[in-house]
Amino acid sequence: MSVFEQWWLPIEAMIANKEPLSILQSIYKELYMNLIRDARWSQYLNGLWVTLQVSFFAILAGTLLGAILAVLRLPDVTEYRYRGKAPIKKLGSAVLRFLSWFAKIYIDIVRGTPMLLQVLIIYYGIFGSVRISKIIIGVIACGLNSAAYVAEIIRGGILSVDRGQTEAGRSLGFSGPGTMLYIILPQAVKSALPSLCNEFIALIKETSILSYIALTELTKAGDYIRSRTYSAFTPYIISGLLYLITTLVLTKLIGKLERRLRNSER
C-alpha cells in the first residue's frame, strides 16, 4: 500500500461516517481522487501530450498557410494587372487575382464564424466518413482557423515594412517574389512576433474545443476524470495549470527569440 493510500483510508472512513473534514483533509481528498487514485495523473499527461501535438502542428500549418494568405492579400497582388500582350502572363495575373479574392473570402468566413462550428463541420461533415486519426483532424481544423488570424497579423507586419525596402531589393536585382521572401517577410515577421505569440497562445487554448469531437486532449482528460469522481472543479484546475505552464513556456521562448532578432538591429 502506498503512502498516499495510507493517508486516504482514514479520510474515506470519516466521509463514510459523515464526519466533517478539515480544510487540509478536504484538499487532500480532492487531490487523491482526481490525481492519485487509479494513476489519474497519467491521464492529464496523456491529454497534455495530445494538446501539445495538435498545437505544434496546427501552429506550423497555420503560420505557413497564413503567410501565403497574407502575401496574396497585398495590394501588389490584388491590384496587379498585366497589360501586355503575352497570353500566359495575362492568364497568370488573372489566376493571381482570383487567389487573392479567394484569400479574402476565406479570411472573412473563418474569422466570422465560431471555431466550435468549424470543428464540428470538419469532423462530422467534411471528414465524416474518412478514417483518419482525430489528432490529424484536430490539426487541420485548428490550423485552418489559425491561418486566417495569422494572415492578418503578418499582413500588418508586411505593411509596416517601409516601401523603400522593396525598392532597394528590386534595384539590387532581386525578383519580386525574391524581395518578398528574403527581404520583406523576415522583417515583417519580426515586427509581428508579439502579435503572433498572442495568436499561438490563443490557439493552444482553443484546442480545448476539440473535446467536442471526443478527442482526449487536456480539457477532455479533466472532463473524463470529473465524470468519475464528481468533483465540481478540481480536475479543471489541474488541467488549467497545465495549460498555464505550456503557454508560459511558449511566451518565454518567443520572448527569447524576439531578443535574438533585435540583436541584428545593432
Partner 1 sequence: MKKFAALLVALMMVLSLAAAGAETVTVAFNPEYPPFEYVEDEQFVGYDVDLINAIAAKAGFEVEFEAMNFDAVINAVVANPDTIGVSGISITDERKINVDFSEGYINAGLIVVVKDDSGYAVLDDLKGKKIGAQLGTTSDFSAEEITGRDNTETYKTFLDAIRDLQNGRLDAVIVDKPVGMALLAGLGDDSLVIVDMGLQADWYGIEVNKENPELLEKINNALKELEAEGFYEELAVKYFSSEEEAAE
Binding stretches for partner 1 (CB under 8 A): 12, 15, 18, 29, 33, 124, 128-129, 131, 212, 214, 220, 223-224, 226-233
How far the first Cα of the chain sits from its last, in Å, is 62
Instruction: Please report how close the Cβ of residue 113 comes to partner 1 at its closest, in angstroms.
Output: 20
Instruction: Please report how close the Cβ of residue 235 comes to partner 1 at its closest, in angstroms.
Output: 11
**Cα dihedral 129, 134, 137, 142 sign:** positive
Residue 187 burial (CB < 10 Å; 0-12/13-18/19+)?
middle
Beta carbons within 8 Å of 183's beta carbon, 6+ residues apart? 165, 166, 168, 169, 174
Instruction: Please report how close the Cβ of residue 33 comes to partner 1 at its closest, in angstroms.
Output: 7
Distance CA 185, CA 206 (A): 27
Nearer to partner 1, 37 or 90 (CB): 37
Instruction: Please report how close the Cβ of residue 217 comes to partner 1 at its closest, in angstroms.
Output: 13
Residue 156 burial (CB < 10 Å; 0-12/13-18/19+)?
middle
Nearer to partner 1, 2 or 227 (CB): 227
Number of H helices, E strands in the chain: 12, 0
Beta carbons within 8 Å of 124's beta carbon, 6+ residues apart? 213
Distance CA 235, CA 33 (A): 10
Nearer to partner 1, 128 or 177 (CB): 128
Neighbours of 69 (CB within 10 A): 24
Instruction: Please report how close the Cβ of residue 53 comes to partner 1 at its closest, in angstroms.
Output: 16
Instruction: Please report how close the Cβ of residue 12 comes to partner 1 at its closest, in angstroms.
Output: 7
Nearer to partner 1, 34 or 100 (CB): 34
Nearer to partner 1, 69 or 225 (CB): 225
Nearer to partner 1, 123 or 243 (CB): 123
